[in-house]
Amino acid sequence: HRLEQAFEQQRSFVSHASHELRTPLAALKSEIQLGLRHPLPPEASRQVLETLHSDTDRLISLTNSLLFLARALENMGQMPLREVRMEEAIALAQEELLSACPGYRVEIAYEHLPESDTQTLVAGNEDLLKRVLLNLFDNACKYSPDRTARVAIGGDDAVCRVSVRDAGIGISPDDLARIFEPFYRATNATGFAGFGVGLSICQRIMELHRGRLLVESTLGQGSCFTIELPHL
């Protein structure tokens, strides 16, 4: 049964991926045909080129995510874990997001003052953890009208916990059960840019770290995604 389920997941992943790649490719093709068929005035050709440019960007970004997901799957279990200070990974993710999206806000606070400086040390790969945080911050800002992610750092003797809260569109209980599936997007998310692969990548990365990714959300009110990582 497990094999069959894994096979089914793989099949649906490939068919989703092909669909996601085919749609922008078909759009590219028809734009190019249009440009070839009629000699266009300079303003119109500029517009065609701009559309081609943004469609190509979309394709590059999707291909990169898919490659990343495939590699993360492949290398499961052989990744060396090193000492990572979560505040540093958070600061790197914040910096990267804000330089790409200057209108976003990421507010960072401690849940309580750490008792010792080892409370925010975890065993991990800083690049991958930064990627998880970046994705959670990005979603929090993208799906909320105030464009703000509220990050709280906390934890206990066993784990370091980082939660990312937003006051955005929220997720319905039915969708909550499915948002970690590759390519799944909730119906209230269709007006926002995205492919639905970010959270499945985050979950894979958390598995590699023997950590957890949890979510609580209320439709129309907001969401809170929490990562938990064992200490070094």
Nearer to ligand ADP, 118 or 188 (CB): 188
Residue found under tokens 């922008």: 24
Size of the chain in residues: 232
Query: What is the pattern of x (binds ligand ADP, CB under 6 A) and - over residues 183-212?
Result: --xx--x----xxxxxx-------------
Nearer to ligand ADP, 110 or 184 (CB): 184
**Angle, in degrees to the nearest 10, between helices 86-100 and 126-142:** 50
Instruction: In angstroms, give the least distance from the CB of 153 to ligand ADP.
Output: 18
DSSP string, 97-128: HHHH-TT-EEEEEESS--SSTTTTEEEE-HHH
Q: Does 24 bind ligand ADP (CB under 6 A)?
A: no
Q: Does 140 bind ligand ADP (CB under 6 A)?
A: yes
Please name the amino acid found at residue 223: S
Alpha carbon of 55 to those of 20, 22, 189, 195, 231: distances in Å? 12, 11, 20, 13, 42
**Under rule CB under 6 A, how many of the chain's residues touch ligand ADP?**
20
Q: Does 179 bind ligand ADP (CB under 6 A)?
A: yes
Q: Does 154 bind ligand ADP (CB under 6 A)?
A: no
- Interacting stretch for ligand ADP, rule CB under 6 A, among 18-26, 46-54, 164-172, 206-214? 164-172
